Chain A
Amino acid sequence: MQSIPDNLKPPFTDLLLAIADDKLMLGHRNSDWTGLGPILEEDIAFSSLAQDEIAHASAFYELAGELLGTSSDELAFGRTPEEYRCAAIVEVPDDFDWASAICRQFFCDEYDMLRLKRMTISNYTPLANLAGRILAEEQVHIEHSEEWVVRLGRGTHEARQRMQKAIDRLAPIALWLFEPFDGLKSLIDAGLYPGSDFDMYDTWTTRIQDILEKAELTMHVEIGEPDDKGGRRGVHTEHFEPLLNDMCEVYRIEPGVAW
C-alpha cells in the first residue's frame, strides 16, 4: 500500500469519508424511491442511480477502511453521528417530492463530477484509479439529472413552480458541500487532493446557472465563509440522526455480525 504521512492521514481519511458519506446518504435517500417513482421507466432509472451511489460509497469506504484498519460496513453503519462527514444537502429529506429529489441529485452530481476530477490527479494512486473508474458513471448521472431539470423547468407551469421552489430551498443548503475542513490545505499542497476549492465553486455555479438558464429557472446564492461548523466537520442537520437511526436499525440489533 502506498503510504500516507501520519500527519496527513486524518484530513485524508476525512476527505475519503466525505465523498463516501455523501454518496451513501444520497443513494440511501434515492433508494427510497424504488417502487414509488413517478413513472415506471424512471423508477428503474433512478434506482440505478441510487445503486451506483451506494456502490461508489462502498468503494470509498474500502479505501478509507484500509487506512483506518476497519471494514466498509463498520464505517457505513457503525459510527456515531459526529463521526460522519457528509454535507447537509444529502441529509435533507425530499418529502416524496420529485422536484426536490431531482434538484438534490443535480446539485450533488455536478459537485461530484468536479470533486472526482480532482481526485483523478491525486498522487495517491488507489484514489486516482478509483475516481477514474467512477467518472464515466457520474457522467451518465449528470446527463440524467440535467435532462430532468430542463424537462421539468420547461414542462408545465406547475412543474416549473415546483422546481423553482426546490431550488430556492435546496441551493443554500447545497453550498455546504464546499465547507472546508481542517487540514484540507495540507492535502492540496501534498498533491493528495490537487486543485482549488474556489475554482471548483466557480465551475460548479457556472455549470448550474447554464443548465438553469436552459430550464428557465434561476438560482441566487452567494457563498461566504461559514460561521458555524457543518457536516464536513461532523456537525449535522436535525435530519441526520433520524436518517442514521433508520439506516442502522437492523445493523444495531447485532452490530458486527454477518447479516
Chain B
Amino acid sequence: MSGSGNVGVHVDHNIQEDPEKLAEFQQKIDDGMLIEVDDWMPEAYRTGMLKMAEHHANSEIIGALPEGEWITRAPSLRRKLALTAKVQDEVGHGQMLYRVSQDLGKTRDNMLRDLITGKTKYHNVFNYPAPTWGDIAMIQWLIDGAAILNQGTLADGAFGPYVRTMKRINMEEAFHFKSGEDMVLTLMGGTMKQREMGQEAFDRWWYPSLMFFGPRDKPNAEQLPPMRWRMKTVTNDGLRQRFINRFAPAALALGLKIHVVEKDEHGMVTSKKPDENLRLNEETGNWEFTEPDWEEFFRVIRGHGPCNKQRLALRRLSYEQGHWVRNAILHGSKNLPPAA
C-alpha cells in the first residue's frame, strides 16, 4: 500500500543547471515522455525522485508490520492465507521500490540503515495502532483504497522506472482492496459484536486515511517542481476530495457512521460525535467534511505518534536479527555446492 508523493523537492540554487538542458528536460515532460535513469535530469530531480522512491519503499516494509502482527490471529484459513499473501505483496513492493532507488544511486543496506536510525521517514499512516481484527479490515479497505487512488495518479508521472513499478504494484493493490472490502462487508453484515468492531475500527482509521494524502496544498502547488516535473500529478487536496467522494457514501451505505473523533496518545478514540459538516454538495458534486486535525498530523510526522517507536523498534530488531544471516551469505567462506 502507501505511495508517497509528499516528499518535498529541495532545489539547491547553488547548483547551476544548464538552462538549455533544463528546458529540454521540461519539454520532454510536457510532451508526456518518460525520463529514464540514464537520461539527463536536474540534480534536484534525481535526489527528489530518489527520496520519493525510498520513502515509498520504506513505507511498504513498515506498512507490512501492523498487518503482519495479525497474520497469526486471522480468524479463518482463507483470511490467514489472504493476509499472509497481502503482507508478502507489500514486502515485494518494498523490494521493487528499493530497486528503483538503488538505480538512482543509494545502496539497499544504506536505505535500510537510514530507515531504522530515523534518518529517513516512512508514511505517517503506519504510526497508528491496529488493536483489533476490525482495524485489519479497515486498513485493507481504506488505506489500500487510498493507496490505489494515489498510486494510480503516480503511475501517470514522468519517471519511467517509478511509473512502471507503480503500474505493477497497483494491480496487486486492487486485490488487497477487494479483499479489504470483502472483510468490511462481512464484519458489517455480521453479528452485533462484529459490527461494533467494524465501527470502532472505522472511527480510528477514517481520519488517518484523510491525512494519508498529505497536508493541505500550498496555493501554487501546481507550479512547484514536484508537479511541474510530474513527480506527482494531482494535488493532495484533489486526491483527498476524490477519496471522500468515493468512500463517504460507500461507508454510509455499509451502515458505518462517520464521526469526528478525539484520541488519546495511544491513538484510541476517547470521544466522538457525528461529523456535522458531512454532506454532498449538489452543486459541486463534492462531499464536504470536517478537516483532519493537522496539528496531530505534524506531531505524528515529527515522531510523536502512537506507534512510531514500536514500528521502528520492530524494524530495527528484524534488521539486527538478520545481520548474521546476511553476513553468512556475503562472506560464506566456501563455495556452495548444489544441495541435491
Neighbour of B193 across the interface among A147, A156, A253, CB < 8 A: A253
Residue pair B68, A251 in contact (C-beta under 8 Å): no
**Within residues 317 to 340 of chain B, which ones have a CB less than 8 A from any CB in chain A?**
317-318, 321-322, 324-329, 331-334, 336-337, 339-340
Q: Which of B76-84, B163-171, B262-270, B289-297 contacts A (4 or more CB under 8 A)?
A: B76-84
Residue pair B71, A31 in contact (C-beta under 8 Å): yes
Residue pair B87, A47 in contact (C-beta under 8 Å): yes
Q: B278 contacts the other chain (Cβ, under 8 Å)?
A: no
Neighbour of A98 across the interface among B72, B186, B314, B325, CB < 8 A: B325
Q: B133 contacts the other chain (Cβ, under 8 Å)?
A: yes
Known: A41-B95, A151-B329, A151-B332. A143 touches B75 (CB 8 A): no
Known: A35-B68, A154-B336, A259-B133. A50 touches B322 (CB 8 A): no
Q: Contacts of B318 on A, CB cut-off 8 Å?
A: 35-38
Q: B91 contacts the other chain (Cβ, under 8 Å)?
A: yes
Q: A13 contacts the other chain (Cβ, under 8 Å)?
A: no
Known: A38-B322, A44-B92. A158 touches B193 (CB 8 A): no
The complex places the Cα of A55 from the Cα of B85 at a distance, in Å, of 12
Majority DSSP secondary structure for residues of A touching B:
helix
Contacts between the two chains (Cβ within 8 Å), count: 167
Residue pair B331, A54 in contact (C-beta under 8 Å): no
Residue pair A51, B81 in contact (C-beta under 8 Å): yes
Q: Contacts of B327 on A, CB cut-off 8 Å?
A: 155-156, 158-159
**Chain A minimum-CB-distance residue to B331:** A156
Q: A135 contacts the other chain (Cβ, under 8 Å)?
A: no
Neighbour of B328 across the interface among A35, A156, A249, A254, CB < 8 A: A156
Q: Mark A40-53, 1 if CB is under 8 A from B, else 0.
A: 11011001101100
CB of B205, distance to nearest CB on chain A (Å): 18
**Chain B minimum-CB-distance residue to A259:** B75
The complex places the Cα of A79 from the Cα of B77 at a distance, in Å, of 14
Q: Contacts of A143 on B, CB cut-off 8 Å?
A: 339-340
Q: Contacts of A257 on B, CB cut-off 8 Å?
A: 190-191, 194
Q: B258 contacts the other chain (Cβ, under 8 Å)?
A: no
**Chain A minimum-CB-distance residue to B90:** A35
Q: Contacts of A77 on B, CB cut-off 8 Å?
A: 75-76
Residue pair B73, A250 in contact (C-beta under 8 Å): yes
Neighbour of A259 across the interface among B68, B186, B333, B337, CB < 8 A: B186
Residue pair B77, A72 in contact (C-beta under 8 Å): yes
**Chain B minimum-CB-distance residue to A50:** B84
Q: Contacts of B336 on A, CB cut-off 8 Å?
A: 147, 150-151, 154
Chain A contact residue count (CB 8 A cutoff): 55
Known: A36-B314, A77-B76, A250-B73. A162 touches B194 (CB 8 A): no
Q: Contacts of A96 on B, CB cut-off 8 Å?
A: 317, 321
Q: A105 contacts the other chain (Cβ, under 8 Å)?
A: no
Residue pair A55, B81 in contact (C-beta under 8 Å): yes
The complex places the Cα of A158 from the Cα of B94 at a distance, in Å, of 29
**Within residues 120 to 148 of chain B, which ones have a CB less than 8 A from any CB in chain A?**
133
Residue pair A51, B328 in contact (C-beta under 8 Å): no
Q: Contacts of A58 on B, CB cut-off 8 Å?
A: 77-78, 81
**Chain B minimum-CB-distance residue to A96:** B321
Residue pair A48, B88 in contact (C-beta under 8 Å): yes
Residue pair A35, B329 in contact (C-beta under 8 Å): no
The complex places the Cα of A173 from the Cα of B55 at a distance, in Å, of 44
Give 22 pairs: A residue, B residue, CB < 8 Å, sorted on A. Answer: A28-B72, A31-B72, A31-B80, A35-B90, A35-B318, A36-B321, A38-B325, A40-B95, A43-B91, A44-B91, A50-B84, A51-B84, A57-B77, A58-B77, A77-B76, A96-B317, A151-B336, A158-B327, A246-B72, A254-B193, A259-B79, A259-B186
Considering the complex of A and B, which 5 residue pairs feature the smallest CB-CB distances, nearest first?
A155-B328, A38-B322, A35-B64, A159-B328, A35-B68
Q: Tell me the B residues contacting A by CB distance below 8 Å.
A: 61, 64-65, 67-68, 71-81, 84-85, 87-88, 90-92, 94-95, 98, 108, 133, 183, 186-187, 190-191, 193-194, 197, 314, 317-318, 321-322, 324-329, 331-334, 336-337, 339-340
Q: Tell me the A residues contacting B by CB distance below 8 Å.
A: 24, 28, 31-32, 34-41, 43-44, 47-48, 50-51, 54-55, 57-58, 61, 72-73, 76-77, 96-98, 143, 146-147, 149-152, 154-156, 158-159, 162, 211, 214, 246-247, 249-251, 253-254, 257-259
Known: A54-B81, A156-B331. 4 other contacts (CB 8 A): A38-B318, A47-B91, A156-B332, A159-B327
